[in-house]
């Protein structure tokens, strides 16, 4: 990473500016101006996300089609007109960087950015149409998720006093999710137990024959992998899907082997049980059941060798 990063793409500078903007957001809320509250909050969220990426490397937030910006990200300051990625690209990248920044959070963040753009660049008034309880708790949850990845917290970002209200909202939202998911699990369990034992046994036997590679149709979106889980409601073979967040080459390999073992990690995004029809969306709902949303496995694949040059 370059030692002297231009301030426009400095992770520390972006983080500091996000703190200024979120402070303005809370100030507008205290005055009852909920439109500007959401406006400044949306700007603070985008800056915070860019700060998280820039701390990994500033090249992650510059426009890859603008070569001058790429040079600046490499520490070669050829311009002061640095172009950065769009909010949509930002949140897509955060979904790969931050394990708990799942599709549910990503779509929420994209939505608030779209409303911000409409507010600034059109005659529409999208913020005025949004009720506070429709976005505020999810907003603080998204911020808290990014801050945890950065080794920070709402308390540090906002200041302990200002953070009390968002933290209370997060606790309330978490409790609501936990209660709703437990009711959903219990309802699916009761429905399954109400079946005749012979029917339950038949369904359980059929579930054991299902293989992950044939379950893509169960899920709303396409993901990198589908794996087996035990359903917390009916105890049958169920499935989870998610995106790969990392891989490492295992050291367990013979010197002359033509295959390598890859340790892979995935973050669960959706859970489906074909037997009792229990459905869970997002890592928060999955976690509320006691299931782990982190999945690790090993894959064997053929070694890829670089071509030899200049030896012919």
Fold of 7-162: 1.20.120
Q: pLDDT at residue 2 above 80?
A: no
In this prediction, residue 256 carries a pLDDT of 61
- Asked whether the predicted pLDDT for residue 306 surpasses 60, the reply is no
Determine the pLDDT at residue 199: 96
What's the rounded mean pLDDT across residues 261-272? 90
Asked if 259 and 301 count as a contact pair (C-beta separation under 8 A), the reply is yes
Q: Give CA angle at 240 (236, 245), nearest 5°.
A: 150
At 21 the pLDDT is 95
pLDDT of residue 254: 60
Count Cβ atoms within 10 A of the Cβ of residue 293 and give its class: 0-12 exposed, 13-18 middle, 19 or more buried: buried
Checking if the pLDDT of 6 tops 80, the result is no
Percent of the chain past pLDDT 70, that is, above it, reads 93
Which among 182, 194, 239 has a CA at the least distance from the CA of 212? 239
Q: What is the arithmetic mean of pLDDT over 180-184?
A: 89
Is the pTM higher than 0.75?
Answer: no
User: What's the whole-number average pLDDT of the chain?
Assistant: 88
Give the start-to-end residue ranges of the domains of the chain. Answer: 7-162, 202-302
For residue 74, is pLDDT > 60?
A: yes
Alpha carbons within 13 angstroms on the beta-carbon side of residue 154 total 19
Contact (CB, 8 A) for 231 and 198: no
């Amino acid at each position: 990473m370059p030692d002297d990063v231009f301030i426009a793409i400095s992770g520390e500078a972006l983080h500091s500016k996000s703190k200024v903007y979120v402070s303005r957001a809370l100030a507008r809320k205290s005055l009852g101006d909920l439109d500007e509250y959401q406006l400044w909050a949306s700007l603070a969220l985008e800056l915070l996300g860019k700060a998280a990426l820039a701390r990994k490397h500033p090249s992650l937030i510059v426009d890859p089609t603008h070569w001058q910006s790429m040079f600046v990200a490499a520490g070669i300051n050829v311009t002061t007109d640095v172009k950065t990625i769009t909010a949509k690209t930002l949140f897509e990248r955060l979904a790969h960087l931050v394990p708990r920044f799942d599709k549910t959070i990503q779509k929420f963040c994209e939505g608030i950015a779209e409303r911000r753009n409409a507010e600034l660049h059109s005659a529409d008034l999208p913020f005025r149409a949004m009720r506070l309880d429709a976005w505020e708790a999810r907003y603080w949850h998204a911020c808290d998720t990014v801050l945890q990845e950065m080794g920070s917290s709402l308390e540090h970002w906002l200041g302990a006093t200002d953070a009390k209200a968002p933290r209370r909202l997060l606790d309330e939202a978490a409790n609501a999710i936990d209660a709703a998911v437990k009711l959903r699990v219990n309802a699916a369990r009761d429905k399954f137990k109400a079946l005749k034992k012979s029917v339950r046994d038949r369904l359980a036997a059929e579930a054991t024959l299902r293989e992950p590679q044939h379950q893509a149709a169960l899920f709303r979106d396409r993901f990198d992998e589908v794996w087996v889980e035990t359903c917390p409601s009916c105890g049958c073979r169920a499935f989870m899907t998610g995106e790969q967040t990392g891989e490492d080459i295992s050291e367990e390999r013979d010197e002359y082997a033509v295959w390598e073992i890859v340790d892979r990690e995935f973050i669960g995004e959706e859970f489906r049980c074909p037997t009792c029809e229990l459905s869970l969306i997002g890592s928060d709902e999955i976690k509320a059941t006691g299931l782990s949303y982190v999945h690790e496995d090993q894959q064997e694949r053929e070694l890829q060798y670089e071509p030899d040059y200049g030896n012919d």
